[in-house]
Structure 1
Amino acid sequence: MPEETDNKIVIRNALMISDGSRKAADVVVSGDRISGIYPPGKAPEASAGSATIIEASGLWLLPGIIDDHVHFREPGLTHKADIASESAAAAAGGVTSFMEMPNTVPQTVSIKEWEHKNSLAAERSVINYSFYIGATDSNIEELRRANPAMVPAFKLFLGASTGNMLVSDSEALEAIFRLGKIPVACHCEDEKIIRANSAAYREEYGDSISPSYHPLIRSREACLSSSMAAVSLARRTGTKLHLLHLSTAEETELLTAGDDPAVKQIIGEACVHHLWFDDSAYAEKGNLVKWNPPIRRQSDREALVKAVREGLIDIIATDHAPHTLEEKSAAYFSAPSGGPAIQHSLVMMLELCHRGELSPELVVTKMCHNPALLFGITGRGFIREGYRADLVLVDPASPQTVSRENILYKCGWSPLEGTTFRSSVVTTIVNGITVFENGSLTGRCAPEMLHFSR
């Protein structure tokens, strides 16, 4: 159950990374807010007997990660995951807020189902929460009822459908894009191209086809044509468009850099698996690295990382989407797409920093600052006085190896098993409450629903 936050925490001698820079600092948390930022060793509260002192020498202090793209599977698919298990894994990974997609059972395509999810999260989540509403050909009246201050975006598929969440009617699509204040988030893959490719490959190889053909079946052309259509419609209607999980070099050319994130119209998102893996992983991991859209060539991975550096891609998210190992062990056409990532997303991106591909400041911008700015989440995403105390302490020199023994996902596996990261999450604080510390959940939490200023 959520608890009141009347505590005081003093984080001493941390290397604070926020607002594009890093500096040594003491940070004071009072209740659920950051109440002071001081030069190292200068926080006056450090001598107060009632304060909890965290000695953070050698550690990085980051804003809590805001993951705008997760699937926690509740209600209806809780054999794979649930809000309690996956929010706990998120906390262990330094994630303090999530935005969850609507393809649960039943689908979140009505205000009633959206309200039900919020009530579940209020009781079960370890971290802050919000939920998309799915768009269909027939639920425009439900979408009109949605509160812009409480719904991150409308989610729709311009490609392979999940249930009935494929908007194929042109008039319905236009109407959804013209609704106004709430952004539209699109999964862009052209269904006609995918169906034709699937039929051709199934005819040639049958059901025993290798997962390595996944990026050919769900081809780059399928992604690019759909993304181009979404961008064209957004520019014509003026709606804010969130392009989810971009996977090709060509799609990055649809994006622009340099716009103020608070007013940017076309938002580009990359997911950690597309920044980490390339198609060489299919040989070893098979369906465990089967995602929609697929991981692709090394040149695509490099282009996506470059687009992150150059400001074309605005947000790094996970598309955390657990399935059981039994489900993933099926033949290619039967095995579901998706996999778990949220416990390891931050250390994955910090590993790219160790490799010289990204910087810690850039990771914080894409995983903390920009989700707050682009969705209008006020008072979160930065380390600033008066902001919510959503914070994560990272040890950049404490290696960890992913194994079944330290995975918190309900599904019990990760495509990263056996990978050693050079960084580790030490402490996660959500609304002033320490929810994860030194490798263990504390059992305490004070989650809140995210609100959006629009």
Structure 2
Amino acid sequence: MGRVLIKNANIVNENKIFESDILLDGEFIVKIDEAIRDSEAKVIDARGRYLLPGLIDDQVHFREPGLTHKGDIASESRAAVAGGITSFMEQPNTIPQTTTIKKLEEKFERAAASSFANYSFLFGGTNDNLEEIKRLDRNACSGIKLFLGSSTGNMLVDDEVVIEKIFRNTEMVISAHCEDETTITRNLANYKAKFGDDIPIKYHPLIRSAEACYLSSSKAIALAKKTGARFHVFHLSTGIETDLFRNDIPLEQKKITAEVCIHHLWFSDADYDIKGTLIKWNPAVKTAGDRSKLWEALLDDRIDVIATDHAPHTLQEKGNVYTQAPSGGPLVQHALPAMLQKYHDGPLSLEKLVEKMCHNPAKLFQIKKRGFVREGYYADLVLVDLDYPWKVTKGNIAYKCGWSPFEGIEFKSKVTHTFVNGHLAYEEGKFSAQRNAKRLTFNRP
């Protein structure tokens, strides 16, 4: 890789924006200063552009193994790099599921051979694998994932005794999908009685309702407080849930944290008429009022992280009737451009974007030497041009599934360069064939 000198960049880091040069040597950032000179370094003039830490996405579904017709680690990590995401945490609902230490290490082996971005995995909790969770080293992976509501792969954990035992028997972050299954089952039965399987998609947020989300998340949070577990709620989708979280202490002191995803910040139920099942997610995209409350909580720090829940399916699968159309969609390539659009529109500052998509995931999961632009840290970096309009088309979509819910949208800003461990993995629409990704490591005592 050699040495790379990025000149004249507007660096966005730790609540500041400042113009500086930055010198990379091999995998690391070695110097951040004005007017750096190095005759042996490859020079990139970043004048007028903004340099961010590489984004860390704490929730993706890359579909490998077992579902690789939708996507795989190679294809989706490549798309992530095009979107400035340099590290990801993949979910356990693959085939087979990642619910044993053996299957976890097999996934790491797959990623080591094929990933373009740095990688880790969440270990799936089930009704019957508590002993495996007890054996899991706290630094082995990102943490534990519980599906407290059903989703792709049917990893529902519904034994309350087991859930409490899991909460009491791990020091790792427990991340959860929170929806109350009893409520959803009742709602679905009511709408099936009216429409059969071809339920109009506009009823999705009434089937997977705000009530279902709040019942599950509030109950899980109460259990986390009772047991002292470190608990992280994935993909908040309702306004009412935001009041369950604190903003009066620093993130490092929080035992209970929250995430919001791109689609819940961008779309509302008004978009179902045009987008249909392309924006069918679990939890569902809900009202504009819910979206507004999510933004409010994100900006006042009750919500700590922005993620994607990237979950590709084929267009053929998404074209099925409601009960057969899977939930989820591809997002990693377009998450940063979408949030930069919100910077242009006003609600989100660049500093806050970097805090929620870079710094906070690194803090929350205690990731070693990533998520910040600092000397001695890995050179995971993203250059963006804030004045580079471009339209999402089928021709520039990198996902294996070949579609995006943002297709037809013209973004105002574009990722121009992405560095992964000092290697220029993506430059002006072109991918490096070389992979330089690494397994994420953690600072957990």
Same fold (TM over 0.5): yes
The match for 1:348 among 338, 351, 371 is 338
The match for 1:193 among 141, 159, 183 is 183
1:287 equivalenced with 2:277 (yes/no): yes
The match for 1:10 among 5, 17, 23 is 5
Alpha-carbon distance in 2 for matches of 1:290, 1:409: 18
The match for 2:61 among 51, 64, 71 is 71
Q: Is the deviation greater in 148-157 or in 370-379?
A: 148-157
Deviation at 1:370, TM superposition (A): 0.1
Q: Is the deviation greater in 351-360 or in 205-214?
A: 205-214
Partner residue in 2 for 1:101: 91
Partner residue in 2 for 1:126: 116
The match for 2:36 among 5, 22, 43 is 43
Q: Is the deviation greater in 397-406 or in 159-168?
A: 159-168
- Listed one character per residue, the Cα deviations across residues 393-438 of structure 1 (whole Å, up to 9, x for unaligned) are 0000001110000000000000110000100000000001000001
**SS, match of residue 262 in structure 1:** helix
Alpha-carbon distance in 2 for matches of 1:95, 1:169: 36
Q: Is the deviation greater in 163-172 or in 411-420?
A: 163-172
Deviation at 1:442, TM superposition (A): 1.4
Taking a change above 3 Å as real, the CA distance of residues 146 and 157 of structure 1, as seen in their structure-2 partners, is same
Amino acid at match of 1:43: I
After superposition, residues 54-453 of structure 1 pair within 5 angstroms as: 54-163=44-153, 165-453=155-443
Taking a change above 3 Å as real, the CA distance of residues 228 and 142 of structure 1, as seen in their structure-2 partners, is same
**SS, match of residue 245 in structure 1:** strand
Q: Superposition RMSD on alpha carbons, in Å?
A: 0.9
User: 2:152 touches 2:327 (CA, 8 Å); kept in 1?
Assistant: no
- Listed one character per residue, the Cα deviations across residues 313-367 of structure 1 (whole Å, up to 9, x for unaligned) are 0000000000000000000111000000000000111100100011110000000
Alpha-carbon distance in 2 for matches of 1:35, 1:445: 21
Alpha-carbon distance in 2 for matches of 1:394, 1:362: 16
- Listed one character per residue, the Cα deviations across residues 373-402 of structure 1 (whole Å, up to 9, x for unaligned) are 010012110001111100000000001110
Alpha-carbon distance in 1 for matches of 2:153, 2:338: 32
Q: Is the deviation greater in 167-176 or in 425-434?
A: 167-176
Deviation at 1:180, TM superposition (A): 2.9
Q: Is the deviation greater in 191-200 or in 152-161?
A: 152-161
Gaps of 5+ in 2: none
User: 1:434 touches 1:444 (CA, 8 Å); kept in 2?
Assistant: no
**SS, match of residue 235 in structure 2:** coil
Taking a change above 3 Å as real, the CA distance of residues 449 and 311 of structure 1, as seen in their structure-2 partners, is same
**SS, match of residue 17 in structure 1:** strand
User: 1:150 touches 1:450 (CA, 8 Å); kept in 2?
Assistant: no
Deviation at 1:100, TM superposition (A): 0.2
Alpha-carbon distance in 2 for matches of 1:443, 1:205: 49
Alpha-carbon distance in 1 for matches of 2:23, 2:337: 25
User: 1:234 touches 1:241 (CA, 8 Å); kept in 2?
Assistant: yes
User: 2:134 touches 2:170 (CA, 8 Å); kept in 1?
Assistant: no
Deviation at 1:444, TM superposition (A): 2.0
Q: Is the deviation greater in 259-268 or in 324-333?
A: 259-268
Deviation at 1:150, TM superposition (A): 2.1
Partner residue in 2 for 1:24: 19
% same residue: 51
- Output the TM-score relative to the length of structure 2: 0.99
Amino acid at match of 2:364: L
Amino acid at match of 2:289: S
Alpha-carbon distance in 2 for matches of 1:71, 1:220: 24
Taking a change above 3 Å as real, the CA distance of residues 161 and 341 of structure 1, as seen in their structure-2 partners, is closer
User: 2:152 touches 2:326 (CA, 8 Å); kept in 1?
Assistant: no
Alpha-carbon distance in 2 for matches of 1:259, 1:121: 36
Q: Is the deviation greater in 206-215 or in 56-65?
A: 206-215
Alpha-carbon distance in 2 for matches of 1:163, 1:288: 19
Deviation at 1:162, TM superposition (A): 4.6
Q: Is the deviation greater in 213-222 or in 174-183?
A: 174-183
Deviation at 1:262, TM superposition (A): 2.3
Amino acid at match of 2:58: D
Deviation at 1:90, TM superposition (A): 0.3
Alpha-carbon distance in 2 for matches of 1:161, 1:285: 20
- Output the TM-score relative to the length of structure 1: 0.97
User: 2:8 touches 2:20 (CA, 8 Å); kept in 1?
Assistant: yes
Alpha-carbon distance in 1 for matches of 2:431, 2:442: 28
Amino acid at match of 2:17: R
Amino acid at match of 1:326: Q
Deviation at 1:147, TM superposition (A): 1.6
Deviation at 1:259, TM superposition (A): 2.2
Amino acid at match of 1:36: K
- Listed one character per residue, the Cα deviations across residues 126-153 of structure 1 (whole Å, up to 9, x for unaligned) are 0100001110010011111212112211
Deviation at 1:55, TM superposition (A): 0.4
User: 1:380 touches 1:388 (CA, 8 Å); kept in 2?
Assistant: yes
Alpha-carbon distance in 2 for matches of 1:253, 1:60: 34
Deviation at 1:161, TM superposition (A): 5.0
Amino acid at match of 1:76: G
**SS, match of residue 104 in structure 2:** helix
Alpha-carbon distance in 1 for matches of 2:170, 2:153: 25
Alpha-carbon distance in 2 for matches of 1:106, 1:197: 30
